[in-house]
Amino acid sequence: MQIGNLKIDTPILLAPMAGVTDYSFRILCKEMGAGVVYSEFVSAHGIIRKNEKTLDMIRFTEMERPIGIQIFGDSPEVMAKAARVVADKFQPDIIDINYGCPVPKITKKGAGSAALKDLCLMDDITTAVVESVPDLPVTVKMRAGWDMSNIVAIEAGPRLEKVGVKAIALHPRTTKQSYRGSANWNLIKELIQTVSIPVIGNGDIKKPEDVVRMFDETGCDAVMVARAALGNPWFFKQATALLLGASLPPIPNTHERIDMCKRHLELLLESRGEHIGTNLMRKQFGWYIKNFPGASSLRQSLVLAKDKEAMEKLLGEVNKNHK
């Protein structure tokens, strides 16, 4: 698969997820075979104001390439300036525009999937970004439409291609659906028939077999994995094996789950420091610590643990107890 001039070896990608796809999680997913990883979505206004917290969300290491930085905003001028700052300061492989976030805090400002209500604004923002970074492929992640009465993805696709977008990731739910109901994979298939650029399918990928099924049912060029990877970076290794016609690798045992959890904690401590790192890890425990005896009480203890030493001790004890 190619996005512009960028060759991607494995067409199974890690979706951008707010509060999740930071450096620590991207590294784990990359090590497990994700073909492209994406940053959390980053505010264009924060970027051009040089907000340090915002810029920290963009920083990445060479190990993470190819990587896409996803930006959001409601103004063509601000989005264009932000894209240029990202390109100059960080040199990612892809600039991705968020037209998919359904969260009211974002859509009320006219950003995220609110652009689906005004395709002319979407055209203007996209054109401005493409023209500001001619040296980088610009991609878009979008929803099907604002609501069931306004499914616009099939109309938006050719417009985005015309202004220079190099790939489209479609999550075929509406903004109003949020994450409820089912993703309509038929819309991915329809979008493919209207554009000649790569289409990346996203939505309702719950197990590795779903990746193969999405390729088969839609004919998409790549599959983007989101919630199925939470606490489960192995997902990419498993899905890739199935895609290559191999058998499904074994489900990680308790030791492997605990070891991955410990590594995630180490990466967070290394990148964010102890105070922020341990706080961010608390939600990760909910995703890793499950499906083995005593998981519920261990999870609660880890979430309440006062510092990294307490967390490390608890994780060490569970490994001893499951010999």
Catalytic positions, written as ranges: 101
Q: How do the residues of the chain divide into helix, strand and coil, expressed in percent and rounded to 5?
A: 50, 15, 35
User: How is residue 204 written in tokens?
Assistant: 């309702």
- HSE-CB at 279 with a 13 A cutoff on CA atoms is 6
Distances (CA, A) of 242 to 9, 169, 209: 15, 22, 7
Task: Please give the helix or strand (H or E) that residue 84 lies within, else none.
Answer: helix 76-90
Q: Kindly report the length of the chain.
A: 323
Residue 83 phi, psi (nearest 5): -60, -40
Distance of CA 22 to the CA centre of its chain: 10
Give the residue from 212, 235, 207, 237 showing the smallest Cα distance to 223: 212
